[in-house]
Amino acid sequence: MHIYQELRVGMTYDLKSDYLVRGYSEEESAEFDSEDTIDAIENVLTRMGFQVDRIGNIHALVERLAEGCRWDLVFNICEGMGGSAREAQVPCLLDAYKIPYVFSEAAVLSLALNKSMTKEMIRANGIHTAPSFLIHDLNRLDERALQFPLFLKPSMEGSSKGIHSDCKVSTPAEFYQTARRILRETSGPILAETYLPGPEFTVGLMGEGEHARVLGVMEVVFKNNGLPPIYCYETKLAYLDCIEYRMADQGLGSRIGEAALGAWRALGCRDGGRVDLRLDEQGVPHFIEVNPLPGLHPKSSDLVILARMSGYSYFELVSGIVEQALPRLAKTRHAEDAFTQSSFEFVCGLM
């Protein structure tokens, strides 16, 4: 690990406690990270030999850049707040300063946060995903288009924000009640999808393009405790009581993993993340959504649980993700060296 000791790695993140102090609710802050997560990631980076610098959120990053601070690489897990491209804000800023970072680039993060546009891209690449439509205004909705059961969720939210046990709807009355709640509680349109009745899976992935690989395929099994089988905000909070995680058997896992890998590559994701899928009534895997900026809490995040059940330690998972980004650091340095050499030759030619 000593080969990294000369490299300075910054960490950008949104700390949940910072937003709670400012008056945001638990659900509004659901995407943000705890001190435990930041500590755990920093510990991995330190063990790898990097010089670690905690930066913080985008406002802190702007201040540090203005002060002249620079890093060889940034480990970015900022979710952002405000706007449909909020997850892309930090990557865009780092791109402008030619500072490489871990996880997917800005365009991918913007696309992935928009569930409707992501599904269009998935369909265009021949990958199964449930039929869906967007709801902008309930007053302009043609009720004849409703074919129940449907599943309703915010089109541009993460961490199950806005998704509760009422999101599966089977009647017009349920539809309007849930749709009004989502429009009241979240920003942006509602995505209405044909409900998929089969079991739900999440797939861990690492790498980029043809070099991407599946870490494992994990089934989300709902315990028989009277709650509907919906992987929603409440069940994720109380996952120990509501959820049992199982690794998929080899045959089914292979089919699901292949579909997830196809989606990951089609969307241009890189380094590490998750793809969620659900089976239809015929057992065909359907893409639900992608998370190219996965949670990394050392105990409770889905990708960490999946990796652990697949035989990977937390250190192996996070260090493996970082190592996917290191070739981009080398390319950036090569480009800078070439630019410097070219500028030097140009100046010499004028003398």
Cβ contact 34:42 at 8 Å: no
Q: What percent of the chain stands above pLDDT 90? A: 70
pLDDT at residue 128 is higher than 80: yes
Residue 231 confidence (pLDDT) above 90: no
Give me the pLDDT at residue 3, please. Answer: 65
Residue whose pair of structure tokens reads 């043809």 in the numeric block: 210
Q: Which residue has the higher pLDDT, 25 or 170?
A: 170
pLDDT of amino acid 159: 57
pLDDT band at 333 (very low <50, low <70, confident <90, very high): low
Q: What is the pLDDT of residue 214?
A: 98
- What is the model's pLDDT at position 98? 97
pLDDT of 229 higher than 80: no
Give the residue range(s) of CATH 3.30.470.20 domains in the chain: 197-309
Which band of pLDDT confidence, cut at 50, 70 and 90, is reported for residue 33?
Answer: confident
When comparing pLDDT for 5 and 92, which is higher?
Answer: 92
Q: Which pLDDT score, from 0 to 100, does residue 340 have?
A: 37
State the span(s) of the chain assigned CATH 3.40.50.20: 2-102
> Residue 44, exposed/middle/buried by CB under 10 A (0-12, 13-18, 19+)?
buried
pLDDT of residue 348: 35
Q: Does the pLDDT at position 234 exceed 80?
A: no
Give mean pLDDT, residues 162-174: 90
For Cα atoms 299, 13, 210, give the angle at the middle one, nearest 5 degrees: 75
Q: Note the pLDDT tens digit of each residue in 36-66.
A: 999 999 999 999 999 999 999 999 999 999 9
Model-level pTM? 0.89
pLDDT of amino acid 61: 98
Question: What value does the mean pLDDT take over residues 238-247?
Answer: 82
CA–CA distances in Å: residue 75 to residues 10, 57, 127, 143, 268: 6, 12, 31, 46, 19
Question: What pLDDT score does 82 carry?
Answer: 78
**333 or 117: which leads in pLDDT:** 117
At residue 346, the pLDDT reads 31
- Weakest-pLDDT range from 103-107, 156-160, 182-186: 156-160
Fold assignment, 2-102: Rossmann fold (3.40.50)
| pLDDT band at residue 137 under the 50/70/90 scheme | confident
| Domain at 197-309: CATH architecture | 2-Layer Sandwich (3.30)
Q: Does domain 131-194 have CATH number 3.40.50.720?
A: no
Domain with CATH 3.30.1490.20 in the chain: 131-194
Q: What is the pLDDT of residue 342?
A: 40
| Mean pLDDT within 19-42 | 84
Q: What is the predicted pLDDT for the residue at 58?
A: 96
**Closest alpha carbon to 245 in 225, 216, 214:** 216
What local confidence, expressed as pLDDT, does residue 336 receive? 54
CB atoms within 10 A of CB 155: 25
pLDDT digits (tens, 9 = 90+) for 142-166: 776 778 999 999 998 775 677 888 9
